[in-house]
């Protein structure tokens, strides 16, 4: 049985979770999971989350923007994968849309083309008939839309 948190213990938990939220952008779900990992009582979590939101340690819109922009620029993820991951974190659709606005369309297209070219070089040329399928599978798994992939392949004559 988990004992009741004393006021002093609650202050320590709040300080720890504030630190957790301050060194990297966090969403509510990730923060709730961390509190559960620390065995914080379920009934206390909403109050802690509310305090974090009030003090601007957590902002779901800010999280969506940072997450979408970062996963695209650093990991070269496509919109589908980013959207899926944000949905898994219970980010509302309107905030996901705002997060996706962080991805410039021209840069998105350039990254897709670069990924295709890079993958094409990695594939042995003696397997010519399956090059296109391997490239499609690779960039589709990265979260790019099938229409954009096919258009890019056609543009590159692959």
pLDDT tens-digit series, residues 74-130? 999 999 999 999 999 999 999 999 999 999 999 999 999 999 999 988 887 765 668
Pick 11 or 89 by higher pLDDT.
89
Instruction: Estimate to the nearest angstrom the gap between the alpha carbon of 115 and the chain centroid.
Output: 19
User: Spelled out in words, what is the top-level CATH class assigned to the domain 7-58?
Assistant: mainly alpha
What per-residue confidence (pLDDT) applies to 46? 93
What per-residue confidence (pLDDT) applies to 141? 97
Mean pLDDT of the chain: 90
* Mean pLDDT confidence for 33-57: 92
pLDDT tens-digit series, residues 14-33? 999 999 999 899 999 999 99
Integer angstrom CA distances of residue 7 from 10, 34, 65, 89, 94? 5, 20, 35, 30, 37
The residues spanned by each domain of the chain are: 7-58, 61-100, 105-155
Residue 3 sits at φ, ψ, to 5 deg, of: -75, 160
What per-residue confidence (pLDDT) applies to 7? 56
What per-residue confidence (pLDDT) applies to 124? 72
Confidence class for position 2, pLDDT limits 50, 70, 90: very low
């Amino acid at each position: 049985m988990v004992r009741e948190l004393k006021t002093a213990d609650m202050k320590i938990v709040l300080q720890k979770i504030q630190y957790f939220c301050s060194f990297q952008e966090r969403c509510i779900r990730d923060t709730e999971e961390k509190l559960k990992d620390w065995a914080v009582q379920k009934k206390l979590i909403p109050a802690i989350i509310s305090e974090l939101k009030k003090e601007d340690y957590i902002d779901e819109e800010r999280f969506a923007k940072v997450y979408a922009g970062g996963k695209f620029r650093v990991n070269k993820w496509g919109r589908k994968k980013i959207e899926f991951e944000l949905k898994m974190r219970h980010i509302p659709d309107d905030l996901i849309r705002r997060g996706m606005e962080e991805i410039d369309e021209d840069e998105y297209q350039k990254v897709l083309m670069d990924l295709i070219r890079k993958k094409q070089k990695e594939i042995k040329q003696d397997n010519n008939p399956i090059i296109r399928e391997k490239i499609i599978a690779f960039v589709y798994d990265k979260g790019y839309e099938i229409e954009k992939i096919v258009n890019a392949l056609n543009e590159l004559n692959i």
